[in-house]
A = this chain, B = another copy of it.
Amino acid sequence: MVYLLYNQYNMFTSSEENYLKAIYHLGLVAKKGVSTNAIAKKLDTKASSVTDMVKKLADKKVLIYQKYQGVNLTIEGKKIAALIIRKHRLWEVFLVEKLNFNWDEVHDVAEQLEHIKSPKLIDEIDALLGFPTVDPHGDPIPDKEGEITLRKKVKLSTLKENEETVLLAVKDSSDDFLRYLNKKKIAIGNTIKVIHIEPFDHSTLVQINDVELLITNEVAENLLVKESNAV
């Protein structure tokens, strides 16, 4: 098999790649175009910087930009973004599975590794890991064509009392939230049963790994689980 170091999809700088990734993520939840301010906030930069970059990316045909109307990725732009996300998530799996990283330690390193240019490298990492389909946070890994298979997931907060489910992913992947879950010994794959929901503040008593635990509604909003099986 022949690998080319640079293919048609990777003549982008790390900064351009980060913009594409941010716009991709924001576009999944945006109803219309992704706004300048939203991008600026996500990338911790200024709106004026976003406008500059967005014009450059529009010239490169990876997004459509109309003044004051926000941006939308083109098919090509979506594919490039998905392939960067693929690399990010594969590296996260590698760090956790092979290098003893905890799931709250992988993000910053994956943020760097995702920009390494070498198709063979990521293919081999993929193979070494046994072609995983989800990352350590339960997020799906796009395939080599940038296609993502979505699993049906609901917030734990949507479940009723006595329903039982499995933790599939976390909505918030911040270090703070992940460390909270570590402390409470809550991990992807755990079985969760809703024991009681307090009507006043929606705090919820759950049973996880045979241990009862009280969680706030905010926590329940950030745990993504399998659609309920009433028990």
Contact = CB atoms under 8 A, between A and B. Distances in A.
Contacts of A112: 116-118
Interface in A83-99: 95, 98-99
A6 to B, nearest CB: 10
A118 B107 CA distance: 11
By secondary structure, the A interface counts as: helix
Q: Is the interface on chain A under 10, 10 to 19, 20 to 34, or 35 or more residues?
A: 10 to 19
A99 B113 contact: no
A102 to B, nearest CB: 10
A26 interface: no
10 contacts: A98-B128, A99-B125, A99-B128, A101-B120, A101-B124, A105-B120, A109-B118, A109-B121, A112-B116, A113-B116
Interface of A: 5, 95, 98-101, 105, 108-109, 112-113, 116-118, 120-121, 124-125, 128
